[in-house]
Amino acid sequence: MDVIRSLWPGVVGGADSARQAFQNEIIPQLHSGRSIETLVARKADSNETIKIIITVFLFIQGVIAILTFLTIEYTVYNLFPVLAAVEDDGAPESYEPLANKDAVELEESEGSKPVEVDEILAPRPRPTTSSLRSTYRHLRSVSGRWSLFRGGRCWMILRSATVTATFLLNRIPFLPAAVAWPIASVLTLPLYVVWTHIVITEPNHRNFWYRFPPLGLVYRAVARAALPYFLVRGFEGYIVSTVVFALVGWKPSRGSILAWLLSLIVAFIVWVCVVIPTHAIFIRVQASLLAKEERTIVPLHRSITAHRIEGKEYLFTLDAWRSFSRASWRRLFKLYAKICLFCFALEAAVVAIAVIEFLIINPIVTGK
């Protein structure tokens, strides 16, 4: 027993020395300091690669989203309402097709012939702009996918000219900013007319510079219809804030929820009751200046060309207002409502995708 006790410290010491030797000699041989640094560097490089891939993915996705929104803003917000404003109503509102198929005897010189009722009063086809889908398909059928961007070059020049004129007018002392944009829009009115003509007509290989109507005719015909629309758009924000302040005594900038809700309601009322009607009248007056030889992609309302029979140069603003029937207003307002719902749904989908991607990507980037 004494012998064992005398040997036990050596055994224990040998185990400790063996463990120390394993830690100091064997482990460094298996994993040198350089290899550990290499593993750490590889992990860092892997994280950097993942971050680069995610950055490139988000950049491409952002570019696609911007292009998509620009396409929708131009096609849906601009092209569709123009086509809806000038298209013929189709069947009159008071017409209702009969449900039964009783035969009707028509008196003819050669005798009587039984004819079906629905053959006599066959319903006219619905207007193309009665829905977003039919309008989209009709545009695609005109000249393919690029038909969705018809008039795009003229539109960019128009916008550039309007922005430049607005910038220069804003440099004039004591000129209100809300007045500068309407004045600039009136100055670039011929471009508006040409763009409208390009949108509603069949593809034409002529440069749009050669499609300008006489400038004197443009301002005589369109200025009185354009000015109310431009003024309302220029003072739209001021009108909304003034009405809200008159109702509750606060401005939306105060952060009041009631003021913000009222501002949305007032903006909606102004848009429905003033902006849409003035815009529709403005479009029809522009369309009345279209040359006789031009062919349109939608059937024009009969009032747009009726002034030629009466010997007039253009459609008067009051006549353009009267030309809109109840069916025309209903179709136009429904189109705007569908546009708003479509854009709201698209924005909600984009926000949902962004939230999901953040929840997935953030832990990968942060390493949590």
Report pLDDT digits (tens) over 277-327: 999 999 999 999 998 888 999 999 888 988 888 888 899 999 999 999 898
Average pLDDT over residues 44-73: 81
- Is residue 290 a contact partner of residue 200, using CB atoms and an 8 Å limit? yes
Average pLDDT over residues 91-110: 38
pLDDT at residue 111, rounded to an integer = 46
The H or E element that residue 114 is part of is: strand 111-116
Its sign, for the CA torsion 28, 33, 38, 44, is positive
In angstroms, the CA 206 to CA 341 distance is 37
User: Residue 342 contacts by C-beta under 8 Å, 6 or more apart in sequence?
Assistant: 76, 132
CA angle 241, 247, 248 (to 5 degrees): 90
If we measure between CA atoms, which residue out of 320, 79, 80, 85 comes closest to residue 222?
Answer: 320
In angstroms, the CA 293 to CA 302 distance is 16
Its sign, for the CA torsion 193, 311, 88, 125, is negative
User: pTM of the full predicted structure?
Assistant: 0.75
The per-residue pLDDT of the chain, averaged, comes to 79
Q: Would you call 171 helix, strand, or coil by DSSP?
A: coil
Tokens at residue 34, please? 């350089």
pLDDT interval class at 350 (50, 70, 90): confident
pLDDT at residue 123, rounded to an integer = 55
- Bridge partners of residue 111, in order along the sequence: 108
- pLDDT tens column, 246-262: 777 766 555 567 777 88
Looking up tokens 């010997």 gives 311
pLDDT at residue 107, rounded to an integer = 38
In angstroms, the CA 289 to CA 304 distance is 9
Domain 65-95+128-366's class? Answer: mainly alpha
Q: Where are the domains of the chain?
A: 65-95+128-366, 96-124
pLDDT interval class at 102 (50, 70, 90): very low
- pLDDT tens column, 207-243: 878 888 899 999 999 999 999 999 999 888 888 888 8
Tokens at residue 294, please? 């031009």
- pLDDT tens column, 76-90: 999 999 999 999 886
User: Residue 234 contacts by C-beta under 8 Å, 6 or more apart in sequence?
Assistant: 178, 179, 181, 182
pLDDT at residue 165, rounded to an integer = 94
Q: Is 120's pLDDT higher than 60?
A: no
- Is residue 346 a contact partner of residue 72, using CB atoms and an 8 Å limit? yes
Distances, alpha carbon 231 to alpha carbons 92, 181, 218, 239, 244, in Å: 34, 9, 18, 11, 19
pLDDT interval class at 36 (50, 70, 90): low
pLDDT at residue 34, rounded to an integer = 56
Q: What percentage of the chain exceeds 70 in pLDDT?
A: 74
